[in-house]
Amino acid sequence: MQEPRPQETPLYVLPQSKSRTLFPKIVSLVILGIIFYLGILLNIYLLELGAEQETIVKLISLILFILIVVSGIIYSVYKAYQPYNFYRNRITLGKEAIYYVNITNTAPHQDPLDKLFHSYSINLSTKFFLRHIPEQIQLQSYLQQLIDYAKRTQF
């Protein structure tokens, strides 16, 4: 039998800005949930249901609204606590990965929410992004060094 390979340890672990990740998601979930619930209430009003049926439908839709918002918040918290792991040849976020040799861009980018929460993002390629990086962490030069090293040592 073969021995299991030891788990590779990351060279660097980059946490995401929790406030930048969670606050906009939670606000948008609540606003969209309220719009959804108000739409259901409007449909119930237009159906002209009896009082008992109307109460049951309102209760079911309220429970559905709460479940959707709570599950969305739990998922957002889970995603916010996933760090970016930098290894010798790649960066990972959960099960997603990008190899340094495939990175096409290291320029930081700030949108209005990033400015508000003092964070930035880097679009490494069309499919992989480093998002919600705190402004205190200057990542561009470190990332460029890793890319240069990976390209020099590539066969």
Map the chain to HEC letters.
Answer: CCCCCCCCCCCEEECCCHHHHHHHHHHHHHHHHHHHHHHHHHHHHHHCCCHHHHHHHHHHHHHHHHHHHHHHHHHHHHHHCCCEEECCCEEEECCEEEEHHHCCCCCEECCHHHHHHCEEEEECCCCCEEEEEECCCCCHHHHHHHHHHHHHHCC
User: What's the pLDDT score for residue 41?
Assistant: 85
Q: Which one of 28, 45, 79 terminates a domain?
A: 79
In a domain, 5, yes or no: no
Task: Count structural domains, the chain.
Answer: 2
Q: Tell whether 47 is covered by a domain.
A: yes
Confidence (pLDDT) at 43: 87
Q: Tell me which residue range forms the domain holding 107.
A: 86-153
Is residue 71 domain-resident?
Answer: yes
pLDDT in tens, 6-36: 678 998 999 999 999 899 999 999 899 889 8
- 98 and 141 co-located in one domain: yes
142 part of a folded domain: yes
82 vs 10: CA distance, rounded Å: 14
Q: Which of 39, 56, 79 is the last residue of a domain?
A: 79
Contact at 8 Å (CB) between 119 and 20?
yes
Is 110 inside a domain boundary? yes
Q: Are residues 26 and 65 in the same domain?
A: yes
Is the CA virtual torsion 143, 148, 153, 155 positive or negative? Answer: positive
pTM for the model stands at 0.76
Given a cut of 80, whether residue 154 has pLDDT beyond it is no
End residue of a domain, out of 49, 79, 109: 79
